[in-house]
Amino acid sequence: MPTTESAMSHALTQFRHQMSTANRHFLLDRVHEIQSLHLPTEAANLHHMRRYWPSLGRGGQETYWNRTVAPEPVREDREVRSVTRLADVPGLYHQYMDGVCPPRLRTEEWRRMYLAVVAEVCAEVVAEDGQDGEDGIPPCEELGLFLKYANGVQDPDFRRSGIAPFLPGFFVGVAEYAFPDEAAGQGGSARMEIEGQRGLLKGYLEESLLGRVGLHGMIDEDLEVKVGFLTGTGGWGHEDRWYSAYTYCRRREDDAADTHQTDFAWRVLFFEASDDDTPATLNGRRPLFDSIPEFLDWYGSWFDYIDMDEVRREIDELNA
């Protein structure tokens, strides 16, 4: 059944609550752990907490920002760098604490342009691959509904799992600026902005096409993908861990244990940065989703599956 606008709005509201609650719970648990160590100073407490949130309490001079930076990272940086008490950490602002990136395609006109350019790129892929005799790729209307309320979702990943974000909106649309006076003149009229960013969006989409973009991983072996776009890369340091993609795909009937997902449809897919193309399991299931609300419910469920012994081992390796 197609996702309705009310269902998408409800799914994102639930997701915000789920992610914010999980992230603050995780931070509070770490605060209690560190307090139980009875370290001599607050500086020592914060140093220990930086294993999970690296910039805590570092102080120093104001970060240099370019003139087009958004308000969220500026607020986060100021609060995080100036904190002096471990007990205050769970209440700090993080731009991704609730997991939702603010929408940038804020009008129907913007979203129509987005869907039209996606359709154009998909048609070109079909033609280049010699699929002209097959049915065309349908519009991804559900994605348009999602982009009305969010440009994407991103986990702050205090546990350092390397989980990828899902950012299908890329960097087009109407931006907000932390320093609007300095950013004045970045855009013209709304009409001119839309037309001007059409080519920018097409470039982003073409560069993110699966099969063209360079990855350190492989799509699941049992999937047939007509077209797909890389929507996020997750990792730590210089190491990729997970990728996200929005794909028009199906499971090959020869490999499917049942008929579920053997029809072509737009789906959200997560896959590992690995040479192994066997479908992975993450947070209790295979991360292949028939709808964006189904994906959001899973993406916000990480706290139910966390293994802190494994988290500590991973962080010790990262900090070694």
67 band by pLDDT with thresholds 50, 70 and 90: confident
Predicted confidence (pLDDT) per residue in 121-131, tens digit: 999 999 987 76
185 band by pLDDT with thresholds 50, 70 and 90: low
Q: How far apart are CA 262 and CA 251, in angstroms?
A: 5
Q: How far apart are CA 197 and CA 171, in angstroms?
A: 10
Strands 265-272 and 288-289: antiparallel
> Per-residue pLDDT averaged across 84-95, rounded?
98
Predicted confidence (pLDDT) per residue in 140-165, tens digit: 999 999 999 999 999 999 999 999 99
Which of 4-8, 93-97, 144-148, 271-275 shows the lowest mean pLDDT across its residues? 271-275
Does residue 6 carry a pLDDT above 80?
Answer: yes
Query: How is 81-124 classified by DSSP, letter by letter?
Result: HH---GGGGGGS--TTTTSEEPPS--SHHHHHHHHHHHHHHHHH
User: Do 177 and 68 contact (CB within 8 A), yes or no?
Assistant: yes
**Which residue did the predictor score with more confidence, 57 or 193?**
57
Residue 312 pLDDT: 94
Predicted confidence (pLDDT) per residue in 18-40, tens digit: 999 999 999 999 999 999 999 99
Does residue 134 carry a pLDDT above 90?
Answer: no
User: Do 145 and 2 contact (CB within 8 A), yes or no?
Assistant: no
Q: Give the H or E element holding residue 304.
A: none
188 band by pLDDT with thresholds 50, 70 and 90: very low
